[in-house]
Amino acid sequence: MLSIMPRILVFQHVAAEPLGTLDPLIRRRGHRIRFVNFERHPDAEPNIDRYRGLVVLGGPMNVEDQEQRPHLRTELRVIEQALEQGKPVLGICLGAQLLAHVLGAPVRKHDRTEIGWYGLELTEAGLADKVIQPLGATTQVFQWHARSYALPDGAVQLARTSTCEQQAFRYGELAYGVQFHPEANQPLIERWLGNPDYASELAASGLTQDDASIRALSASLALPMQSQAEAMFENFLDLIGRPQRRFTLPSREWV
């Protein structure tokens, strides 16, 4: 009996931004994950043909950094190929911006950085969406971004915050971009707060949420977000398909 495991391609940009809570969920379902870490292997040339879905994670770089970081061009090509092949795509933070860029939408520095906990409101389309609806009408989500995307033509807006209109979208039936960080749990948030580069960005932001207040909020908000996010991730992974079992007959010699 052989296991048929849908394989998922994951683009990671820096060690500090892994799959987070999505990682054990994917593994529990029996999927195989192929990571491409562009911080370690900037010249990697992954091929989407062998995979059933694509997840593009966050990172401190930006869409306009393609000259300095040519791997971003590689990622944009692969995202485009995944869309052309009708394969599920999930972009988180930078990943959502890259997806929006592939779809022709501008990505610009946002007028107000979002770092910390923010109230998320689903649109009517979001409340009806088969992937994102477990987040509920309103919930608290974790953010860490200074840029935002415009809604691509033909895409459906799924969520907003009071300080950033575009927080989630769906393109077609299989491609999703989320600006916030549903994969973050309390240990990952603590990891970001302890990272010197991330801490400097927070200190320079001038936001009312500092590291102490973010820690305090995370103590009560991280677990509820994780529960909602896991339900959302399950729905996305259902687009890729659940691993199945294939039965094979034992080999025999016929006489």
Active site residue ranges: 93, 181, 183
**Within 13 Å, how many C-alpha atoms sit on residue 183's CB side?**
23
Which DSSP string do the residues of the chain spell out, in sequence order? -EEE--EEEEEE-STTS--TTHHHHHHHHT-EEEEEETTT-TT----GGG-SEEEE---S--GGGTTT-THHHHHHHHHHHHHHTT--EEEETHHHHHHHHHTT--EEEEEEEEEEEEEEEE-HHHHH-TTTGGG-SEEEEEEEEEEEEPPPTT-EEEEE-SS-S-SEEEETTTEEEESS-TT--HHHHHHHHTSHHHHHHHHHH--S--HHHHHHHHHHHHHHHHHHHHHHHHHHHHHH---EEE--PPP----
Quote the CA–CA distance of 201 and 191 in Å, as a whole number.
Answer: 14
- Pair of tokens at residue 73: 């061009």
Quote the CA–CA distance of 73 and 220 in Å, as a whole number.
Answer: 39
Angle 71-84/94-102 helices, nearest 10 degrees? Answer: 60
